[in-house]
Structure formats: structure tokens, C-alpha cells
Amino acid sequence: MTDKDYMGSLRDNIDESMKSNDNVKKLVKLLEGISLNIYRQCAKPKGRLGSLVATYAGIRPELCKWGFNLLKPDLNGTFLEIGFGSGYLIYALAKTIKALNASGKVYGIDHSPTMVYDAIEKNEEFIQDGIVKLKCASVYEIPFLNEFFDFCITVNSINFWEDLQLGLSEIYQTLKRGGKFLLLETTFKQDMNPERLIKAKAGGAIIREKELFIEFLKETGFTDCTLYFKEKWLFLAIIAKK
């Protein structure tokens, strides 16, 4: 498939899937005034509050569109998303695969039962079609066969992994030889907007320098690790090959 065949459709589906919910934004902003502790839900959302906070914090269409434009994956491949949240990106990817009659399959794991429930509800059509399969599981114990996936993706999740090396090792094992890992993050700097940094730390995020990810990826065995950075939005993308 050429860029014209699917990238435009994928970008449109990402936008459609991740349309911000103004009511959610207003409610989270209201709760923010009571306590920033609500952001603790970011690490492992639980219940209705967790679902709201994860939706508010996790919708990043521009980051996802930019990352997929860099990756340009084959939609006939097998995909794994780590920490899929409410399942917005899985929905967009599955919708594009189905619309273009591609043979790709989309798998996902998230360690939050709340997020798995939300994502299953959002992706019910594609689960029924056999395009999507979701599981409640940790990145430290990925419940799929070794060398099974062509592509692995994680969006705004890796900063919550306490054992970065173990998580990357699990991903490395599940990728096929020649498979690619796409890491997407909205990064943080110690001198950034204080309010944003406070929210990140309240949510349990581990603030790491972006170059550190490359070091860990290479130690795990990944090659051709390329780092991309959008200064305007502090967007980070890394594509690493097994």
C-alpha cells in the first residue's frame, strides 16, 4: 500500500476516534481544583474517575498522527499496543484496516481492568470481526507468543513503567525479527510549565531524559534506533528495529 492508500484514512480515523470530549475536560478541570491527586489515576485508572482522567490525559491525536506518519506501517501486519487506555488508537487502526480490506490484526494489553472494559466497549465491532483482541495484562508479562508481532506501539505509557528494562525486554521478545517498536511520548522537562510538571509527578510519571530511552533500547538488543523530537509540543518519537 502506498502513502495515498492509507495514511490519509488513518489520520482521519485518528481524529474521528480521538475527538476531545468537552464535558470530560470540564469535569476533570473542576476536580483538579479540589485535588491534583486525581492524576494518580493516570498510572492505573480505576472506576469512573479513572476512566475520565485517562480519557482527558490520553487523547493526543497530533502525537499519534505524527508517529504513524514516521512509522508508515504495513496494514497487513500484526500490531500490539501497550497501555491502550480507552482504545482510541486501536479503534482508528482497526477501522482503517477494515475499510481498506487489509489483513492486519490489532492486539492490545493494558494493566487496568477499567481501561480494558472501556476499550472493549469502544472496539466491539472490530472484536466481533476478529480484527482486534484485547487483554488485561502487564508489559512485564506480555501474554503472547515470542516473535509474533510486526509492530509494537506505546503512547504516553512508558513514563509509568518502573522497570523500563524488563518492559523493553518483553517487547523485544514478542517482535518478529525485523519488527519495529514505536515509542510515542509527550515529554517533560524540569524547567517546563510548572503546572504541567506538577500534574505529571502527581500522576506518578517518572521524568526521564529522552536520550535515556535510546540507551535502554540498545542494551535490550534493538538496532537502528532513531529519535525524533518536536520541540513545539515536546513530542518524542523513537522507532527501533529488532
Mean pLDDT across 38-64: 68
- Per-residue pLDDT tens over the stretch 103-161: 999 999 999 999 899 999 999 999 999 999 999 999 999 999 999 999 999 998 898 89
* Cross-strand pairs, 99: none
Q: How is domain 3-241 classified at the architecture level of CATH?
A: 3-Layer(aba) Sandwich (3.40)
Residue 83 is predicted with a pLDDT of 94
The pTM is what? 0.85
Where does the pLDDT of residue 74 fall: very low under 50, low under 70, confident under 90, or very high at 90 and above? very high
How would you label 178-217 residue by residue, b for 16+ Cβ within 10 Å and e otherwise? ebbbbbbbbbbeeeeeeeebebbebbebeebebeebbebb
Give the pLDDT score at 71. 96
